[in-house]
Amino acid sequence: MPTSLMINGERRTSNRDPMTPLIDVLRDEFLLTGAKSVCREGVCGACTVHLDGRLAVSCLVPIGTVEGKDVRTVESLAMAGELSPLQQVMEQHDVVQCGMCFPGILMTLTSFFQAQPNAGRDEIKAALVGNICRCTGYERLVDAAVTLTKRS
Amino acid sequence: MADSVADATAALTDDGCVPLAGGTWIMRASIRGEAQSRRYVGIGRIPELNTIDVKDGEIRLGACVTHARLVESFAGLAQWNGLAAAAGAAANPAVREMATVGGNLSTQDFFAADLPPALLSLDAAVELVRPGGTERLSVGRYLDVRRTLEPGALMTSIVLPRRPMRTGHARLPLRKAGDYPVAIVSMAAVLSSDGRVDVIRIAVGSVEPAAGRWTELEEKLLGRPLDPDTAHEMAEATADTFTGRDSVEAPGWYRVKVLPALVRRATQAVLSSR
Ligand SMILES: Cc1cc2nc3c(=O)[nH]c(=O)nc-3n(C[C@H](O)[C@H](O)[C@H](O)COP(=O)(O)OP(=O)(O)OC[C@H]3O[C@@H](n4cnc5c(N)ncnc54)[C@H](O)[C@@H]3O)c2cc1C
Ligand code: FES
Ligand code: FES
């Protein structure tokens, strides 16, 4: 049965088997390769997207359950051609290394700052427990995120 | 995807068809080396399973309420401190948005689940729709029978009795956060005006294959003033009733060994929840 959903504001239809993980549909069918498929078990966070405005690890979302839902991927953050404030601070602080974890980290922090714009260091770290980064050691990343809360 | 409980139970009477709630356990079947050949009926959209209904004597949680919604609804309310801590410390933020209460209670081979001990300590019940009609079971009973329920059975809600209790949930993951807890202690108590224990329910998770009450410790604490040191001491004296399960994360003896320390922390959480 086909599944029709909104992805980054556009209506899309997938004919994949309903138990196919959303990450595979995003990457293979719609060529949205920002979200990464790494652990495929909800641990690393590289595949994180927003589903109806809430965080989801897209490796654990069967496509058959998202009929009519609104999916936002990392590609949606800079839709107008301009980086989001979060993306800008990450770039200014030269945080990104290999970048594998980053799409997920951006989606997690984007949603987190909407809920808690004035969060402190510890809260930011707690928000990131589901996003594993092998390169940065997190500290620089959290430093950058903190400047965003101070700015607002 | 079912639109109503009736749709779901009709599909479920077909042998081999099972409910899919948040999918966070089912979608990892192949990683655990299990077959994923059975049919699934998605229950996450059924409105009745997504409501939180607050009544005078009880609160009814739809089975598909997520961990994140539990935290949003219960955080900051003293009586539900333990439940909010259990739901809010499990897994990671994205998984908490997806994983449901009903799924957490129904995952038979998941031994480290946080909500079973929390709900046991709260004396919660579950409501099931079965081919013969609707039935209410204690959480403990549900944990015993969940493996053997007939096709067509579906948990529709979890019922929390409202009592003037104070509650806490203490868990020990091996890393600071993000992995499964090695052992869990949930506690709910009613204290008299002089601080003595009038009613207490203590439940342990992750140590044995199923969560269960720690009645020996409850009996020892009844009628005494509740304080972390006494609770720790009594826990040491009765912890040998548990047989810890061995796994790659931790040996069984270790799970039992940390219980008194978790009892101390749960007691501190209970005393500070007002
Ligand atoms: C990275 C990661 C970390 C995790 N860490 C923790 C943790 O620290 N603590 C913790 O407790 N959990 C943890 N979990 C496990 C997670 O909480 C469970 O996978 C989840 O609770 C299952 O809920 P679900 O809604 O996703 O269930 P599903 O995967 O949809 O279903 C699980 C099982 O329950 C059955 N089921 C679901 N709903 C019902 C119902 N209403 N009636 C009858 N049967 C039903 C299904 O048929 C299936 O057998 C973690 C998961 C991940 C991915
Ligand atoms: S690929 Fe989804 S969490 Fe790792
Ligand atoms: S930058 Fe390489 S994993 Fe995070």
More confident residue, B186 or A80: B186
Burial of B235 from C-beta contacts in 10 A (0-12 / 13-18 / 19+):
buried
Q: What is the mean pLDDT of residues A15-27?
A: 97
Are both A51 and A98 inside the same structural domain? no
What share of chain B in percent tops pLDDT 70?
99
Q: Which of B159, B140, B150, B58 is nearest to B101 (CA)?
A: B159
Q: Is A132 in the pocket of ligand 2 (CB under 6 A)?
A: no
Confidence band for B177, pLDDT divided at 50, 70 and 90: low
Go through chain A and tell me how many residues it has: 152
Answer whether residue A151 is part of any domain: no
d(CA A71, CA B180): 28
pTM: 0.96
pLDDT at B15: 78
Q: What is the CATH number of the domain that holds A119?
A: 1.10.150.120
Q: Which residues on chain B place their C-beta less than 8 Å from a C-beta of chain A? A: 1, 20, 22-24, 27-28, 31, 36, 40, 42, 44-45, 68, 91-95, 97-98, 177-178
For the residues B164-193, what does the mean pLDDT come to?
Answer: 91
Which of B27, B31, B95 lies closest to A62 in CB terms?
Answer: B27
pLDDT at A151 over 60: no
- Tell me which of A76, A103, A120 is where a domain ends: A76
pLDDT mean over B155-169: 96
User: What pLDDT is stored for residue B178 in this prediction?
Assistant: 66
pLDDT of residue B130: 92
Are residues A123 and A72 part of one domain? no
Distance, in Å, from the CA atom of B45 to the CA atom of B11, rounded to the nearest integer, reads 15
Specify whether A50 is located in the same domain as A102.
no
A10 and A45 fall within a common domain: yes
CB atoms under 10 Å from CB of A94, counted, come to 9
Distance CA B54, CA B57 (A): 8
Q: Are residues A64 and A95 in the same domain?
A: no
Where residue A43 sits, what CATH number does that domain have? 3.10.20.30
Tell me what pLDDT residue B146 has.
94
The whole-number average pLDDT for the span B225-241 is 97
Amino acid at A62: P
Identify the domain boundary among A33, A57, A76: A76
Is A4:A11 a contact under the CB 8 Å cutoff?
Answer: yes
B148 CB contacts (<8 Å, ≥6 apart)? none
Residue A121's identity, in one-letter code, is R
Please state, in angstroms and rounded to a whole number, the distance separating the CA atoms of residues A53 and B232.
44
Residue B44 has pLDDT above 60, yes or no: yes
Q: Quick one: pLDDT band at residue A13, thresholds 50, 70, 90?
A: very high
Q: How many domains does chain A have?
A: 2
| The pLDDT value given to residue B175 | 77
Quick one: tokens of A150?
Answer: 């101070």
CA distance A49 to A64: 16
Q: What is the DSSP string of A6-36?
A: EETTEEEEE-S-TTSBHHHIIIIIT---SS-
Mean pLDDT, range A53-63, rounded to an integer: 98
Tell me what the mean pLDDT of segment B107-126 comes to: 97
Going by C-alpha positions, the residue among A31, A39, A84 that lies closest to residue A57 is A39
Tens-digit pLDDT profile for residues A120-137: 999 999 999 999 999 999
The reported pLDDT for the residue numbered B14 is: 86
Range of the domain at A22: 3-76
β-strands A70-72, A3-7 pairing: parallel
The residue count of chain B comes to 274
Q: What pLDDT score was predicted for residue B158?
A: 98
Which residue from B31, B42, B177 is facing A64, i.e. has the nearest CB? B42
Secondary structure (3-state) at B14: coil
Mean residue pLDDT across chain B = 95
> Could you say which of B28, B93, B178 has the minimum Cβ distance to residue A41?
B28
Tell whether A56 is within 8 A of chain B (Cβ): yes
Q: Is the pLDDT of residue B17 over 80?
A: yes
Same domain for A71 and A7 = yes
Pocket test for ligand 3, best of A74, A131, A133 (most atoms within 8 A of CB): A133
Q: What structural domains and CATH numbers belong to chain B? A: 47-161 (3.30.465.10), 166-272 (3.30.390.50)
Q: Token pair for residue A35?
A: 């979200």
Identify the residue whose tokens are 């005393």.
B271
Cβ pair B199, B106 in contact under 8 A: no
Residue in chain A closest to B69 (alpha carbons) equals A54
B24-47 mean pLDDT: 90
Residue A122 lies in a domain: yes
